[in-house]
Amino acid sequence: MEYKDYYQALGVAKTATEDEIKKAYRKLVRKYHPDVSKEADAQAKTQEINEAYGVLGDAEKRAAYDELGRGHQYRAGQEFRPPPDWGRGFGGGGGGPGGSGQGGFGGVDSDFFSDLFANFGGGGAGRRRQQAPQRGDDSHATLTIDLADSYQGATRTISLTVAERDAQDRIVTRERNLSVNIPKGVTAGQQLRLSGQGQPGAAGPGDLYLEIQFRADARYRLDGRDVYQTVPVAPWELALGGEIEVTTPSGKVNVTVPAASQSGRKLRLRARGLPGKEAGDLYLLLEVVLPPATSDKARELYQTMARELAFNPRAGG
């Protein structure tokens, strides 16, 4: 069956207060009551409104419904099947819309509604023995860092939107800042675990897992712990060879370019890749960059080279 968005049914935001939800419900009931409404689908609409208010109008049912939506990322219209352990740790009881108390859910006839609270522990038919409180769901997010952060280690502050109960037992959201220690040698795809920073639960919060991604940088390419870096060089540095200074993710180094090198040559610097028990290597890929012929002097030099070197890069191709 399809997941139902009860907030959408009442036309309120997920952060709506108890009073705002009640006002929206009463307004819609007056509009769609079958005795006064001229809408063709008034009866079905009234049932939908009652069903939504039966959940959002009850603090515990609303908390359970919100937990399901956050933890399992359901969206309106998607196929729905409650997880087997969902709903544990929440109390039951309470009437339906307006406190009617029919069967614990206000007499709502909905497959989605019934399945949603099958494990809720509510009153009426099908009452189940309340199970032991469960930890909250684990949360997952992505943390994007610079390559240099893996070389040196770093501390970053991240902002998360979290849901919690306020003093009036309403579900509210707020921004929370967390300080994250990034260890040296962390690799792309690795997950950092922050204990107790996940979703709230009756037996304590779950954990937060941050998956590491590296910020895109055209200079670098990663292969495990090996790092490939493109290094621009002048034609004479390739032809004549010599020492050049290169800024790498771990700092500046001096490397020797062998004479008669070609563009695309690869120089290996051992153990200068990502740090770790077995550090990776750093490979410098030499890429020739030609000086522009934008001055008379530069054009003259190029003409001299063309005349005296008699070089054809396509010869024998």
pLDDT at residue 118, rounded to an integer = 55
Q: Alpha helix locations (H) across 99-225? A: 111-116, 147-152
Q: Are residues 77 and 172 both part of a single domain?
A: no
Q: 119 vs 1, 176, 303, CA distance in Å?
A: 17, 31, 85
Helices 42-56/59-72 angle, 10° precision: 90
Q: Are residues 251 and 229 both part of a single domain?
A: yes
CATH number of the domain that 13 lies in?
Answer: 1.10.287.110
pLDDT tens, position by position, 84-114: 544 444 444 444 444 333 333 334 445 566 6
Distance CA 210, CA 200 (A): 17
The verdict on residue 153 lying in a domain is yes
Q: Which of 162, 195, 214 is the last residue of a domain?
A: 214
Query: What is the extent of the structural domain holding 227?
Result: 220-309
Contact criterion met (CB below 8 Å) for 254 and 245? yes
Task: Give the amino acid at 43.
Answer: Q
Tell me how many domains the chain contains.
Answer: 3
pLDDT tens, position by position, 275-305: 999 999 999 999 999 999 999 999 999 999 9
pLDDT tens, position by position, 263-272: 999 999 999 9
Query: What is the average pLDDT across 28-52?
Result: 79
- Band of residue 140 on the pLDDT scale cut at 50, 70, 90: confident
Q: Are residues 171 and 241 both part of a single domain?
A: no
pLDDT at residue 301, rounded to an integer = 94
Distance CA 96, CA 50 (A): 8
